[in-house]
Structure 1
């Protein structure tokens, strides 16, 4: 619980905004939204990860709201991004697989901000177009963003392409794209800081998603001889590969951390830090050998939990360590940002506006949030054990069922590495029944009949290959097909 002075500070700011209507309208906050790819929540120095080198994020946490229970409800790239931009769940917007198009008729976050006097910009990985990972994305499919330097998807970080604005000429980011995209974002921020209108800028970085061994040498050397501390849920057979991959994973993170420092410093140097909402988060996590698996899609902690730091000095002050236990799911981000900016939330939004809860003006009453895999594909295709599931997460427990029945139940407080599946154990029958009832309520709320994945594929007319994956037309830096 935050101390009285912090509460009083927040209340004074809020009331002042209500009383001085002109000021509140003229000084809408800017948003700088840093979205990285496949960064699991636990990989932070301030959370005790001895492997991580995240000095900037550790400092940022000391001056930010830390949403400790942020969840990627469908932990895979395109579904997260579609839910982030629409505030809707995947069965509503239809993007429950990678490499499919988010309908251009959707009411999206940039469109709403545009309508309310904001300038909007997007830099980096898009992954919502469905026309091929290297294809030109015309403005009609840019979902309302104005400034545009993006590519559908690449993880070739040192040979990274993009298209700018309405031009179909393919360009290349110089060097390692995390650094180049950050430099471009800094230029954009400096330019916008001199103007009257507020702005929203998304910087979408492809790292630390695999391939893990492609960060610049400066960062790789930081970890090349460093012993990796492995979690106990990594089987012995996976530990050598996990050690190698983790070194590269943390090298990418170190580069990102340094880039966040540059962005943060730019907000200070331009004098707009006080009234800018700076968010650091990820689209999903990474298993990295946990439970014998890699990548994402599964309901384990390493896959579904994401970092979420919200830095907004005007509201939360500085040198504080605000924290919240709200179950912030992906569809909740859009309405929460709109709520913090005092903007209307479209009726199409299904997520929850947590802005008043984060400010402690309203009590949190949400006890469960939905997680799901509508159709397994790609890196978790059926031949790799992939399967449909629906589940719920509470502040303490994770529960999921597949089409055959209850699958996993974990007490994340007593068993943080999820080594003890409680499904079917008589002493936990009451808990399992409680979680099942919560899941039934969430599915009813979402009008989700939990049908086999291929029925939804047919409904949305998606074309899939023999692995039940939507194919695309690109190869990775080694000339080999990438599945995600």
Structure 2
């Protein structure tokens, strides 16, 4: 008998803000993402989707194992050996799925498959152990250079400009080329699990020239700056191109935003190319998300690791196969996280969810049976650019509480009325106290000593790996 289990398509971007979808009511109305909007509108748009640890490595650990950061040992940006007993790809491979990964995996050690049967790996647009770079070098007949970064723009910076390569030579296009080849040559007797993982819109902010021109000429939204944010007397010059706290002049900001939006538009068009090439993906369960966002000048901040919406909130769309008859045009306002993707996919395929998973299946929300799978979501990130930046956040989708683990600074935002977090409510002790107590509950059993059970204790060690980290360990601090 034919295998009737659904094919699974997991599409991930890198550093895409949750509001950077045409479908998002709080996003830039200039941004064109018609294909992603279609996926969201014909399925469920989770408007409060979050990266529990908003930088590349820890976010992908949560996504690939269905575990919160403190359950897998990584609460910040640091590559480390890791031997999880269960992974999303591993469980699906064991269940008979053909599993393929194309693009950025960004886990340690490189080339470890983490349950995938086959990798076409490209964690960056430079480097020597990289299938995309190998292809690009062969294309240009140059083995002594990195053609993909000949534009000279930093891979973590704010400078925006057109890419020097034509779009058919860029990583996003390469991923879809490899995807189409996989789908043509896959085993037709078993279902597939395919993870397409784009590097864009992670800096360098260098879209194809056509996409840059599309946005540089438009009226783009300016950054939002909260009443609590670091202040500058005016635009600055001469700072590090990788700066995480800087005020740009209007033209530089226009260039950065035009490039960022252009990269997202390019991804969307390539997803459209995929959909058109294989007949609409009607029999697939499609999940689209990103590992974290990008501050993009909001609150005079850049890059990721911050607890604010621009950094921690991610696009989060799931479309069930049409034949399942799930509701369409569904919107969920309760908090979900990257740890929920593995349980959701396993639940949809009838594969047992491992007990180590701290995430929750989102199928009940997609089916219209409930509007939430949890009351509160906890996220965190250890200090990265500066040790003092270590932070925790808790949200119910309506409010968000932030605590900086080294300085003790607190924020409270009303996300429903103030979605861009411009007004800090932390001066209200009446509002603040219950949120502080909720974070205490999340941290009560943590080995760092963030709380004595009654108070939060600032200044405790908050490193990227838990104090008792071991590559084979699972943790039960939640």
Same structural fold, with TM-score higher than 0.5 when normalized by the shorter chain: yes
Give the unaligned 5+ runs of structure 2.
140-168, 236-246, 451-459, 472-478
Flag structure 1 segments of 5+ consecutive residues without an equivalent: 1-21, 131-136, 463-484
1:149 matches 2:137: no
Which residue of the partner structure matches residue 256 of structure 2? 245
Specify whether residues 280 and 93 from structure 1 end up closer, same or farther in structure 2 by C-alpha distance, changes over 3 A only: same
Report Cα offsets for 1:61-117 as digits up to 9, x if no partner.
321211111111111100010011111122332233334135134311111001111
RMSD: 2.8
Q: CA deviation at 1:250?
A: 0.8
1:207 is paired with a residue of what secondary structure? strand
1:260–1:102 Cα change, 3 Å: farther
The correspondence for 1:109, drawn from 66, 84, 88, is: 88
Higher relative contact order structure (alpha carbons within 8 Å, sequence separation ≥ 6): 2
Does the 8 Å CA contact 1:406/1:423 hold for their aligned counterparts? no
Q: Are the structure 2 counterparts of residues 314 and 55 from structure 1 closer, same or farther at C-alpha, using a change threshold of 3 Å? A: closer
Task: Check the 8 A contact 2:70/2:466 in 1, yes or no.
Answer: no
Matched, 1:372 2:342: no
* C-alpha displacement of 1:275: 2.3
Which residue matches 1:479? none
How is 1:95-134 mapped onto 2 (pairs within 5 angstroms)?
95-130=74-109
2:434 aligned residue: 434
> 1:37 corresponds to which residue?
14
2: distance between equivalents of 1:82 and 1:323? 26
Structure 2 match to 1:393: 395
For the Cα contact (< 8 Å) 2:448–2:462, is it kept in 1? no
> Per-residue deviation at 1:142?
1.1
Contact 1:233 1:291 in 2 (8 A): yes
1:286 counterpart SS class? coil
TM-score by length of 1: 0.78
CA distance in 1, matches of 2:308, 2:324: 32
Q: What residue in structure 2 maps to residue 290 of structure 1?
A: 298
Report the equivalent of 1:195: 188
Give the superposition deviation at 1:46: 2.2
TM-score (structure 2 length as normaliser) = 0.79
1:214-363 to 2 correspondences below 5 Å = 214-233=206-225, 237=235, 238-239=247-248, 240=250, 241-268=252-279, 273-314=281-322, 317=325, 320-362=328-370
How many angstroms apart in 2 are the aligned matches of 1:39 and 1:441?
A: 30
**Matched residue count:** 410
In proportion to residue count, which structure has more helix? 1
Q: Does 2:386 correspond to 1:381?
A: yes
Distance in structure 2 (CA, Å) of the matches to 1:254 and 1:292? 24
Whole-Å separation in 1 of the counterparts to 2:290 and 2:225: 22
How far apart, in 1, do the equivalents of 2:197 and 2:82 lie? Answer: 20
